[in-house]
Amino acid sequence: MADSAAEARIDQALVVRARLGDDPRAFEQLVRRHQGMVRAQLRHMLHGDHAAADDLAQESFLLAWRKLDQFRGDARFSTWLYRIAYTCFLQACRKKSLPLDRDDDTTKLLPAPAHALDLQVDMERAMRRLSGPEQTVLLHCVQLGLSHEEAAYVLTMPLGTVKTHATRGKAKLKAWLAAWHDVDEEQTP
């Protein structure tokens, strides 16, 4: 928590330097500090399409540079960047008619892993069976480590909706991976 606050203060100082001094080197440091997570966020949302994710990440950072005056410091700089990246992702989906969300009914038709060989593989398959909003909320809340409030800000969703998607997503994963839990219990003396 203290580390997170210190990181936020460093980001804030770099933003002030970049904004007031028009200092591209300060912004370069911000890019270096956050590119890894923003690219990971976009790669995850684009289901591993690295080239498209990097294009969107570049677009997001250029947009952040142009809109730096609009960063008020209400949210952490990283959260603000995630929001810009998510907005770019949504715009790209609309332009290219990419599948933004998957219907629950169709995902239920996907075959469940009958003979699971590996928990990690099963986990990946289970994640893909979740609805789009559930995947997105779990990505932001659990994997990127945002609070529910921050995820609501990034995804422009009501807080209650974020919490609902997180709870439902985890409950579905638990149900689909229940066989692993049973195996663990059988193996435990």
Partner 1 sequence: MNQSQDEAIEALLREQFEGPVFDDGFSDRVVQQLPPRRHRAVWPLWAGVLAGAGASWLGLLSAPLLHAGWQEWISGKPSASAIILVSAIAGMSLLACWWTTMEAEDH
Tokens of 162: 């974020």
* Complex with partner 1: residue 42 or 152, whichever CB lies closer: 42
Interacting positions 151-180 with partner 1 (CB under 8 A): 167, 170-171, 173-174, 177
Footprint (CB under 8 A) of partner 1, residues 47-106: 54, 57-58, 61-62, 65-66, 68, 72
Of 94 and 143, nearer to partner 1 (C-beta) is 143
Give the three-class secondary structure for 147. coil
DSSP letter at 145 equals: -
Type of residue found at 30: L
Tell how far CA 58 is from the center of its chain.
16
188 binds partner 1, rule: CB under 8 A: no
Cα separation, 80 vs 34, whole angstroms:
11
Do 46 and 96 touch, CB atoms closer than 8 A? no
> How many residues line the site for partner 1 (CB under 8 A)?
39
Q: How far is the CB of 174 from partner 1 (least distance, A)?
A: 6
Reduced to 3 states, what is the DSSP secondary structure of residue 12? helix
Whole-number Å distance between alpha carbons of 41 and 49: 12
Which segment (20-28, 79-87, 104-112, 153-161) binds partner 1 by CB under 8 A?
Answer: 20-28
**Applying CB under 8 A, which of residues 120, 185, 187, 189 lies at the interface with partner 1?**
120
Q: Which is nearer to partner 1, 24 or 160 (CB)?
A: 24
Q: What value does the CA radius of gyration of the chain take, rounded to a whole number of Å?
A: 19
Q: Is 53 exposed, middle or buried (0-12, 13-18, 19+ CB in 10 A)?
A: buried
Tell me the closest approach of the beta carbon of residue 48 to partner 1, in angstroms: 10
- In one-letter notation, the amino acid at residue 4 is S
Binding site for partner 1 (CB under 8 A): 22, 24, 27-28, 31-32, 35-37, 39-40, 43-44, 54, 57-58, 61-62, 65-66, 68, 72, 119-120, 123-124, 127, 138-139, 142-144, 167, 170-171, 173-174, 177, 181
